[in-house]
Chain A
Amino acid sequence: MNTLFDSELSAINVGVQSFADNIAAEGAKVSSLTWQPPAGGDADAALTLARLVGDAGIADANQRALERFLSAKPVVVDVSTAGKALPGFTDRRRLLHAGPPILWADMCGPMQGGLAGAAVLEGWAETIDAAMKLVADGEILCEPCHHFDAVAPMAGIISPSMPVWIVEDAGSPDRHRTYSNFNEGLGKVLRFGANSEEVLERLRWMADEVAPAMRAAIEVSGGIELKPLMAQALHMGDEVHNRNTAATGLLMKRLVPSLMRAEIDAGLKSRVLEFIYGNDHFFLNLSMAACKNMLDAASGIDGSTFVTVMARNGVDFGIQMSGTGKQWFRAPANPVDGLYFPGFSAEDAAADLGDSAITETAGVGGFAMASAPAIVKFVGGTPSDATQNSRNMQEITVGTNSAFTLPALNFAPTATGIDAIKVVDRGILPVINTGIAHREAGVGQIGAGITTAPLKCFADALGAFARTRD
C-alpha cells in the first residue's frame, strides 16, 4: 500500500523552479533537478530510456558485467606479427584501422595516409598513389581493429607484417587474447598518417629489431601482469592514456633484466632500449590492449547496458554495449576542447581519432585524470578540473575499480563500467583525454585536449537494446 500519507513529504522537482521554492517555503523537503531535455531533445529516445530506468534485471546484468571486468587479469604473454597472431586476418589482403567501420572515401586524411603507407609496407603497391588506388578500388579490405580484438592509437593502422603485443586474460578459463601494435614514438609516424620512406623504414626496423627483443624479454620474464603495473602508474602521475611516462618506466624495469639475459646481440639491445627510452608513450599500446582485454570479459552479457567499446575513426565516434554485443552505435565525434601547438588551430584539426578511448571505457585516461596533474595543462585544464572530472564520472558508471585508485580523490577507486542508461538519463557525457591530429596526412599531432563521447551513440544503443527486449 502507498505510504505517502503516512510519511513526511519529500519532493523532487523538475521544471518550474518556483514550485520547489514554494514547497520549501512551507517547510517541506524538496530538491530540484538541473534538467535538460534528455537524449539531446529526442522525445522518443527519452521515452525509451524512461522505460529502462530502475530495472532490476538490467542492474543485475550490469553487476555481472562489472564483476567479469574486475576479475579479468590481462597479462602480456608474447609478441608476434598481426598476420600470425590475429585469427583470420590473412585470408585476403586486409588492413585494420581505428574506430567504427568507415568507407575509404569518407576517411580523414591521417587514416587514408596511414592505410596507403601500410599497403606499401606490405609490398602490395610500389608507390603511395598506387596504394591509395588499390584501397579505393576495394582491392584491400579495411576493417576496424576492434573486429579482430585489437586496438591501436590514432589512425590505428595494423598490417600483417607489423608486430603486435599479445595480451591474455589469465583470469578466465578461455584465456581470451587481445592485441595492439607497437608505438612508433612522436613526429612523423604512420598513426598520424605519415607514410614517407623514413616512416616505413622505421616500421621495418621495429619489426626486425624491437619486436624480437621484446619477444625474447617477455619469454624470459614469463609474462608481465599489466593491471598492477597500471595501478602503480596511476600513483605516479600517469592516467595511462595521454601520460605513460611512469608506466613505460615500470614496464622497462620489469623487462630490462630479462632482456639482458636473453641471447640477443648486445648492439641490438642497446638500439632497442634507446628507442624505447626515447618514447614516453611506449606503454600506451599495452595499456590499450589491457583495457580491451578487461572490457571483452564484460561484453556479450544479455540485458547489460555496460559500455564495452568507445572508439573514433576521425569522422564518427562509435560505441559497443555489452547487451547488444558487437553492434556499433555511432554519431559524429564531438569537438575537442583543446590547446593547439603554435601555428595550428581548430581549423587544422581532424575530428577525434583513435581506439585509445578504450582507456576511458575501462575507467582510466580521462576518468582517472585526477592522477595526472602533470598533463592537465596540456589538455587545457587545471588540477581541480581534473579531480572534478574524475569525480563526475562516478555518476555514470556501474561501479568502481578498487584495483585502480586515485590519490587526489583520497584514494577513491576509479569510476568504472559506463552505464549507457546513466549517461542518457543524467546527461553527463564520458570525458576523454585526447591528442589532436592534423587533418592532413603526415603532419602529426597539433594539440591535445578534452572531449566527450556524443550522447546520440548511447541513446541509439539503448533504442536497439530496448527493441531486443520487446
Chain B
Amino acid sequence: MTTRMKIYRDLYKDSVSLMQLSAGFAQRDGVERASIVMATETNLRQLEDAGFDPVDGATPNDLIVALIADDTVIDDLFEQADSALKARPAANGGDGPQPLPPSSFEMAIEGQPDANMAVVSVPGPFAAAEAIKALRLGLNVMLFSDNVPPAQELEVKKLARERGLLVMGPDCGTAIINGVPLGFANVVNRGKIGIVAASGTGLQEVSCRISNAGAGISQAIGTGGHDLAAEIGGLSMLTGIEMLIADPQTEVIVLVSKPPSAEVAKGILGAACAGGKPVVVHFLGADAAELKGHNVIVAESLAEAGEKAVAVLRGDAPEPLCLDDLPQAAMRAAERLVPQAQYLRGVFCGGTFCAESQLFALRAGLKVHSNVPVRGAEALNDIWISEGHSIVDLGDDDFTRGRAHPMIDPTLRDERIVSDGTDPLTGVIQFDVVLGYGASMEPIEGLLEALRRVKEARSAPPVFVAHVCGTDLDPQSRHEITAQLQAEGVIAATSNAQASVWASAIAVQCQTAMASA
C-alpha cells in the first residue's frame, strides 16, 4: 500500500464532479481510499484524519488528489486522475482554430444570444459576483449556491428588481420554468397553477401533489430560504408573484414559506391579492391568525396547499386535507413492539419535510428533538445521537459539510436509519425519499439494505413509515420505488403530512400502551 497525494494549484472543479470522480476511483481494484477534493479546511482535516500528511500552503482554490492504493497500481491511478482532471469539453470538430469554450456569461451569450436564464451553483463566496454579471447582461438567475453573505444577497436582489429580472436564490434548490426542471426538481404536468416557494422540498411536494392530482404547474419559482427575512423583505417572492400575476397561463397562485415577519407577510400577501387571482398560502407552522385580514386561502400543510390549489382551479370549494386512517398493517406492526420501543425517529433528506413532521408530532402532543427544531421543539444535544422523539434533517449544513447532500448521496440517511432502527427504544421510523432531477438515480438501493439490517437485528422491528416525493414522470419511477418499499414492509403515504400523522399516531399509541402496561 502506498499513501500519496498530488496538489494542483488553482484548479477548480465543482464538488459533485469531484465526488463522482472519487467514487469512480474508490471502486477500482487495489484502491483502499480515493479522495479528489478541493483543499478546503474541512477536506484537509479529513485527509489528515485518513492518514495523509498535512498540507502546507494549500488554498481552497487548489485541488488535491489523495490515494491509498497498491504499489502496483498507484502510478497508473495518478496518471488517470491527471487526464480526467485535464479533460476539457471538445470544441466543435474540424481542423483549424476553434473558438474557446465559453468561460464567462458574456462569452457564452455571444454564441447564445437568446439566453434568458443563468443557473449558478459555484461556491458561495463567488456566487453573488456571477449572479450580478448575469443580471447586468439581462439574464434571469437561479442561484443554487448557498453561503452567500446577506449584504450580497440584497445587492443581487435589488439589482434584479432594478432590471426587471427574476432572481431565484441564493440557496434555491429547485424551480420549474417554462416546464423545464432546474436544480432538484420533479417532472410534473404543465398546467395553470403557479407556485412561489421559499422552501425547496416544499416546492417539490406541492408541485408533485398538484401533478399527481391530475392538474399541472405553469411556473414554479424558488426564492431561497432567506428571501423572506426582514433584511431582504421577500424581494424575490415579490417579483415571482408579479410575474405570475402577469402570466396569462397562471390561474391560481400558491405561496409556500416559513412564517415571515408580519411586515414582510403584509407586503407579500398584499401584492399577491392585488392580482385578482386566487392565492393559496402555506406558511409552515404559522398560526391561522397571522394570515387574518388577507383575502387568501390558508393551507395547513404542503399537501393541503397543493390540493386546495387544484380544488380552486376546478371551481370546487377548498377542503381540508383528507387523511386516511392508520393502515391495518401498521397497527399490527405497532402492536407487536415491545413496550419500551416507543419513540418516533424521523430521518429526512428534505428540510421542509423535517419541519413539517415536527409540527405534526408537536400537534399530536409529542416532545420533539431535532437538529433544526421548529418553534416548540428542542435542540438535540448531539446531532449524531437521537434522544426521545428525534426528527433530523440530514440535509442541514452540520451534516453535509464536506460531503454531498443526502438527496444526491443517501448513504448518511441509510446509516441513520440503521442506527435509529436498531435502537431498542425506537418504535417508528419516518423517512422521505425525494425523486426527480438532481436527486440520486438510485435513491433506495442502500435504503432497502438498511431496512433488512434493522429487521434482522430486532425480533419486533419498528414500524417504517415513508413518503416518496415525486411523480411517475420523474427519471426514477415513483410507482416502482413505492412498490419496492412496500415489499420491505414500509407503510407508504401519499404525502409527507399523511406520513407524519401516521408516524405520530403510532408513537402516541406506543406511549399509551407503555403507560397502561
Contacts and interface: CB of A to CB of B under 8 A. Distances in A.
B181 A26 contact: yes
Interface string A344-376: 000000000000000000000000001000000
Given A9-B116, A19-B144, A41 B103 contact: no
A12 interface: yes
Interface in A49-86: 49-51, 53-55
B448 interface: no
B20 to A, nearest CB: 9
Given A19-B438, A37-B12, A4 B116 contact: yes
B501 to A, nearest CB: 33
A392 interface: yes
For chain A, give the interface size range.
Answer: 35 or more
Given A26-B181, A41-B61, A11 B128 contact: no
Interface in A1-24: 1-5, 7-20, 22-23
Interface stretch (B25-33, B91-99, B304-312, B378-386): B91-99
Contacts of A49: 129, 133
Interface string B41-60: 00000000000000000011
Contacts of A268: none
A23 B247 CA distance: 22
Nearest to B120: A14
Interface in B1-32: 10-12, 14, 16-17
Nearest to A424: B104
A391 B132 contact: no
Interface residues of B, number: 73
Contacts of B97: 370, 384, 387-388, 390-392, 409
B241 to A, nearest CB: 13
Of A1, A12, A34, most B-chain CB atoms within 10 Å: A12
A7 B116 contact: yes
Given A9-B180, A40-B10, A426 B107 contact: yes
B215 interface: no
A453 B107 CA distance: 20
Contacts of A12: 102, 105, 108-109, 112, 115, 117-119, 134, 139
Interface string A438-449: 000000000000
Contacts of A384: 96-97
B144 A37 contact: no
Given A5-B247, A388-B98, A35 B12 contact: yes
A117 to B, nearest CB: 39
Nearest to A49: B129
Q: Interface on chain B toward A: helix, strand, loop, or mixed SS?
A: loop
Given A15-B144, A390-B97, A9 B107 contact: no
B136 A53 contact: yes
Given A22-B181, A53-B136, A16 B14 contact: yes
Contact of B182 (A23, A33, A46, A51): A23
A122 B175 CA distance: 74
A5 B243 contact: yes
B371 interface: no
A23 to B, nearest CB: 6
Contacts of A13: 118-119, 121
Of A47, A50, A55, A391, most B-chain CB atoms within 10 Å: A50
A36 interface: yes
A106 B166 CA distance: 52
Nearest to B112: A31
Nearest to A387: B97
B133 A425 contact: yes
A390 B475 CA distance: 44
B201 interface: no
A383 to B, nearest CB: 11
A280 interface: no
Contacts of A4: 116-117, 140, 166, 177-178, 243
Contacts of B114: 7-8, 10, 29
A43 interface: yes
A264 interface: no
B119 A14 contact: yes
Contacts of B475: 25
B332 interface: no
A395 interface: yes
Given A10-B117, A15-B120, A31-B112, A23 B180 contact: yes
A422 interface: yes
Nearest to B105: A12
A207 interface: no
Contacts of A16: 14, 16-17, 121, 144
Contacts of A40: 10, 61
A15 B121 contact: yes
20 contacts: A9-B177, A10-B115, A11-B115, A11-B116, A12-B102, A13-B121, A19-B182, A19-B438, A29-B112, A31-B115, A33-B108, A37-B126, A43-B129, A51-B136, A53-B132, A53-B133, A387-B97, A422-B106, A426-B104, A427-B103
Given A4-B243, A422-B106, A425-B107, 15 more contacts: A8-B178, A9-B116, A11-B115, A11-B182, A15-B120, A18-B438, A19-B119, A19-B182, A36-B10, A37-B122, A43-B126, A46-B129, A50-B128, A50-B130, A387-B97
| Smallest CB-CB A-B distances: 8 pairs | A15-B121, A391-B97, A54-B136, A41-B61, A50-B132, A50-B129, A46-B129, A22-B437
